[in-house]
Structure 1
Amino acid sequence: MKRILLIDVSPRGNDSASRSVASTLAARLSDLYPLAEITHRDLAAAHPPHLDESTLRAISTRDPAEEERWKDAARLADQLTDELVASDLLVIATPMWNFGIPSALKAWIDLVVRPGKTFRYGEGGVVGLMQGKQAILVLASGGVFTAGPWKSWDFVEPYLRQILGFIGIVDVQTVRVEGMNIPALANDAVPVANKAVEALVL
């Protein structure tokens, strides 16, 4: 049975382009894998905490006594990490904010990119422990960042590919919902992205 983890980030609800296209993707995945277990993690509805002292100590200590002391602070981080570890396919649907990812998504990343859990330090350097998984990025933006003068301003896809590769996820596909703030492109942005969903290799 395929296990799918869907991360939604946008707080715009039904007005969110990334959520709309992610919903199309989820429907296709359900058709392809009717027995799939889909876990939906909505970071806008339940914003994960940014790292504070207690959480940082909880997820970084290797001392059993310290683990017991900080176990309450580690509970959510452990739950989020377990969801990722259990998944075969990770879907991240997010808008671009100020050329980067929303802080809620960064908070989730900081809680799941953990030594001994999703990567480890080896003699030759870092080894990602999430190898063999797939990821799909659904990225919405007001402008166009796949080509043209704004391409170098895209700090979303390069960062997400880099951090996913760091933990061993290198099979990454991207669907773009571009030009949402450009009148000539806005109306077609979601339909074009939905067509791209149909072209994904799943």
Structure 2
Amino acid sequence: MKRILIVESSPRGSESASRKLAGKVRARLEAQYPEARIAERDLVHDKLPHLDEPALQAMTTQDPLEAESLKAALHLSDLLTEELLSSDLLVIASPMWNFGIPSSLKAWIDHVVRVGKTFNYIGAKVEGLAKEKKAILILASGGVFSEGPWKSWDTVEPYLRQILGFIGIEDVQTVRAEGMNIPPLAIHAVPNGEKAVEALVI
């Protein structure tokens, strides 16, 4: 393990359960892989822009001259994509908001899921280009979504697993802090997540 990328998306700072667990994951990785380079992409501080018309044109044009003229529009996307592709392990820490991910994380995904960079079309099929990488999802939620009556409302883990698989990352593990808004469960949410961190196969 030479390079690790940690993507943070919660704006709650030290109160964030996903950030607390991401810190535990990072500490374990630093102990287990002391020579690894760990990069952190904090989407709260970095405030990535959502894709605009020039960026979308640059991503989709087939005209080499137009692509060259729009190259500057893809500078940030190129940087983020290279950051992902150069990593052996991707750690994504996210809260669940309204049964989905924060828009900042969606913006990051839109910048790095790119044809010719992280996936290619091969006839009617798609080939992920970010193969032989691993990922860890660190998810925090007010309710319990890994099982029980609300499981079908969880669009976070299925979506992230699907998008990672689309670009070729299929070795994905999940750590959860669940029941953060349910008093009897909240006190156990982060400790249970910490136990899951200890059980990760990394």
TM-score range, shorter chain: over 0.9
**1:156-192, CA deviations, whole angstroms, 9 ceiling, x for partnerless residues?**
0000000000000000000011000000011111111
Query: 8 Å contact 1:77–1:112 — kept in the other structure?
Result: yes
Residue type of the alignment partner of 1:52: D
Q: Any unmatched runs of 5+ in structure 1?
A: none
**In structure 2, how many angstroms separate the alpha carbons of the residues matched to 1:132 and 1:150?**
33
- Aligned counterpart, 1:104: 104
User: Please, what TM-score do these two structures have when normalized by structure 1?
Assistant: 0.97
- Aligned counterpart, 2:167: 167
- Aligned counterpart, 1:199: 199
Residue type of the alignment partner of 2:44: A
- Aligned counterpart, 1:189: 189
- Aligned counterpart, 1:114: 114
**1:113-172, CA deviations, whole angstroms, 9 ceiling, x for partnerless residues?**
000000001135100011110000000000000111110000000000000000000000
- Aligned counterpart, 1:12: 12
Output aligned runs, 1:39-188, within 5 Å: 39-188=39-188
**In structure 1, how many angstroms separate the alpha carbons of the residues matched to 2:62 and 2:21?**
41
Q: Any unmatched runs of 5+ in structure 2?
A: none
**In structure 1, how many angstroms separate the alpha carbons of the residues matched to 2:130 and 2:124?**
17
What is the aligned length? 202
User: Please, what TM-score do these two structures have when normalized by structure 2?
Assistant: 0.97
Residue type of the alignment partner of 2:150: W
Q: Secondary structure at the match of 1:44?
A: helix
